[in-house]
Amino acid sequence: MHKNSRLLPFMRRALYRAWVDGVSVTDLSLEYKITRKTVYKVLERARLQDFENHLSVNLRFRTIKYGLRKLRKTAERLQKRIDRENIKRYEKEYPGEMVHFDTKRLPLLSGEAIRDKREHLHVAIDDFSRYLVADIFPDKGQYSSAMHLEEVIETAPFNTEIAYSDNGSCYRGRKALQEYVTHYNLERRHSGIKGLTPVERIGSYYASQMRIQRLTN
């Protein structure tokens, strides 16, 4: 018997007798809480005096076409895993040689409306030491990105030589940014921090906690 079967053999017999007595298919489906399609299926088997439950067998799994499609998807999934594991890793030799920058629009907190303006998280992570500077700004424009860069330069215990980011417009245009942002990661994946973006590295939970703490202070 199928584990999700709604009708036992005696129920199938009662359903068939009710149909013979004139009860409509719609009323039977409402009474037994099954679809009309299932009622017709039960009646079709009942005409052959078959009231037993049958195992659910999907013949699609036995076809060559399905098997080949399954093999192709499995091969593609394994190839993607191999490609991720073969990402070319690197590690800088000293702090400040390369600092990763990224931005992320923060989700709404409980009680905030959809119309409220969304704030943005700015993150900077040093490739060598994993030194992290994160701050929340009202937007991700060039002015906010420049302020975050200046904050990193002033507070970090090392000299920032290269700022590594994606090719977003927020990292292009201001002179303060152009002096440091000399290398772009067009694929957004920062292989120096295990193939993650700086925002993924810090995690959405900690970003939300930072915002809650800032609003409560």
Mean of all residue pLDDT scores within the chain = 77
Pick the CATH number of 99-216 from 3.30.70.1560, 3.90.110.10, 3.20.20.70, 3.30.420.10: 3.30.420.10
pLDDT for residue 24 is more than 90: yes
pLDDT in tens, 36-88: 998 998 999 899 988 888 776 666 666 777 778 888 888 888 888 887 777 66
pLDDT for residue 109 is more than 90: no
Per-residue confidence (pLDDT) for residue 43, from 0 to 100: 92
Higher pLDDT, 174 or 105: 105
Q: Where in the chain is the domain with CATH 3.30.420.10?
A: 99-216
Instruction: Count CB neighbours of 199 within 10 A.
Output: 19
Per-residue confidence (pLDDT) for residue 201, from 0 to 100: 60
According to CATH, the topology of domain 1-56 is Arc Repressor Mutant, subunit A (1.10.10)
Q: Give the 3-state secondary structure of 106-174.
A: CCCCCCCCCCCCCCEEEEEEECCCCCEEEEEECCCCHHHHHHHHHHHHHHCCCCCCCEEECCCHHHCCC
Higher pLDDT, 19 or 117: 19
